[in-house]
Structure 1
């Protein structure tokens, strides 16, 4: 089994797509006004409007801008470079400046326009570097 995609449900696809294109540098594929994807080598970040919930059984399936548990994480080549590149554009939604975590990743955390947590990280300890060696 492989994790292929994470989908964010939003009331403003255009705004969220623009944000993720800006912070990742990845151009989204906009299939319709209600659905887009940002594809990385290992997984896809899908962005769907609340209108797409009708395909899954109705409006009560998911609630836009209600995430309180998940963090969308991106492995980046150099977390300090990425922080320097986007720090101004993610203020005041910065949650944590670059910090080395006990599990060996240096990361910074911020929120997207819908309030979802986003983590950019780079492995920095030998164990973490080895763990992610095939993903970089």
Structure 2
């Protein structure tokens, strides 16, 4: 089994795809109006329109956190604060008890997003190796 992607269901695919292009710096592939995807070295973030999953409630409580390994959490925080649409910050850059530096915010649809950096180069390499195995 191989992990391939996380798909978020949205009522406004274009808006959410625009946000993730700005937030991640990745260029989204948009093969259809109701679908976009962002490919990174360890997997993909996909965005599908509510029309593609009619049995789901796009406004339901979300418990998933989309996590992105970044070089510098504090620098990313400053960059996000300059976006055209500044995301709702849930937790400003904080050092977690296990050592990761973490920034938690909500995308325009309310999904939780975590930008994090491990405390050391060794921990960072372990995170990269772990995600590469998925």
Structure 2 contact 87–106 (Cα < 8 Å) conserved: no
RMSD: 2.0
What corresponds to 1:73 in structure 2? 67
What corresponds to 2:110 in structure 1? 115
1:132 matched to 2:89: no
What corresponds to 1:13 in structure 2? 13
Structure 1 residue runs of 4 or more that deviate by more than 4 Å after TM superposition: none
Structure 1 pair 13/81, CA: closer, same or farther in 2 (3 Å)?
same
Shift of 1:37: 0.2
Structure 1 pair 45/83, CA: closer, same or farther in 2 (3 Å)?
same
1-side partners of 2:27 and 2:115: how far apart? 18
Taking structure 1 as the reference length, the TM-score comes to 0.86
2-side partners of 1:130 and 1:99: how far apart? 21
Structure 1 regions of 5+ residues with no counterpart? 54-58
1-side partners of 2:77 and 2:118: how far apart? 15
Structure 1 pair 133/34, CA: closer, same or farther in 2 (3 Å)?
closer
1-side partners of 2:73 and 2:86: how far apart? 17
2-side partners of 1:21 and 1:126: how far apart? 27
2-side partners of 1:106 and 1:7: how far apart? 25
2-side partners of 1:133 and 1:45: how far apart? 17
Helix, strand or coil at the partner of 2:21: helix
Shift of 1:102: 1.3
Structure 2 regions of 5+ residues with no counterpart? none
